Amino acid sequence: GAVVSQHPSRVICKSGTSVKIECRSLDFQATTMFWYRQFPKQSLMLMATSNEGSKATYEQGVEKDKFLINHASLTLSTLTVTSAHPEDSSFYICSANDAGAGYGYTFGSGTRLTVV
Amino acid sequence: GNSVTQMEGPVTLSEEAFLTINCTYTATGYPSLFWYVQYPGEGLQLLLKATKADDKGSNKGFEATYRKETTSFHLEKGSVQVSDSAVYFCALSGSAGGTSYGKLTFGQGTILTVHP
């Protein structure tokens, strides 16, 4: 089945630094990937839609200059949290749709970001 | 906009008990409906889905039927196991051609704990 690999699974960084999270579709091409954020004991909120070869589309309230998204190829999207602050600590998850699998979204395993 | 409402948790059951997790939605057009499961420390996995009214999704003993008349997609399992302990999310994706097509809107999640 469709597999989405997300890396790293856990990262701890200092305030003010930047962190890059990768999301790869391993056995299919994804022109669109999605980035979600999950706060502890809460649901997932869509942050942005990553579009291959063009700018990402951000949801209302999400700072595009803080959460940089790059979708340079059909199998890779990256989310960079710039100038991280403790309030950015969260669980970030990407997803992609393998159209050949019949309209099912495959999620990465998530990245636990802790900013200290 | 689209929204998903799940029954409040947590839900605690004994092994072999019957499980129901209620899910209702608000959406325009003809959304697709999904149930995802998240095990501790992991990302989301697609459990089952339904793309049109009266469709029944099923997987691993879990079932849910897309009821357009009641805008519901309740998750059921006849006999739960300890290994079913996880967080369950109901979600919808907007219909093709709409502005929310491809984007998942999640319910708040329901924590299920099954005791031996």
Contacts of B93 in chain A (CB under 8 A): 105
For residue A90, the SS3 value is strand
pLDDT at B63: 98
Burial of A105 (0-12, 13-18, 19+ CB in 10 A): buried
**Contact at CB, B102 and A106, closer than 8 angstroms:** no
For residues B85 and B113, the answer to whether their CB atoms sit within 8 Å is yes
Q: Which of A32, A34, A110 sits opposite B43 (nearest CB)?
A: A110
Q: Where are the strands (E) in chain B, listed by range? A: 3-6, 11-14, 19-21, 23-26, 32-38, 44-50, 56-59, 62-65, 75-77, 86-93, 104-106, 110-115
Asked, as a colleague might, if the bond just before A86 is cis with ω within 30 of 0, I would say: no
pLDDT at A11: 97
Q: Which of A44, A93, A105 sits opposite B46 (nearest CB)?
A: A105
d(CA A106, CA A48): 16
Beta-carbon contacts of B28 under 8 Å, excluding residues fewer than 6 positions away, are B2, B94, B95, B98
Q: A36-87, pLDDT tens digit by residue?
A: 998 877 788 999 999 888 899 999 999 999 999 999 899 999 999 999 999 9
Alpha helical stretches, state H, chain B = none
**Contact at CB, A34 and B36, closer than 8 angstroms:** no
Q: Is the pLDDT of residue A102 over 60?
A: no
Residue A83 distance to chain B (closest CA, Å): 25
Q: B15-68, pLDDT tens digit by residue?
A: 999 999 999 999 988 899 999 999 987 888 889 999 899 999 999 999 999 999
Nearest CA in chain B to A36: B104
Q: Does the beta carbon of A31 lie under 8 angstroms from any beta carbon of chain B? A: no
d(CA B67, CA B75): 12
Average pLDDT over residues A88-93: 94
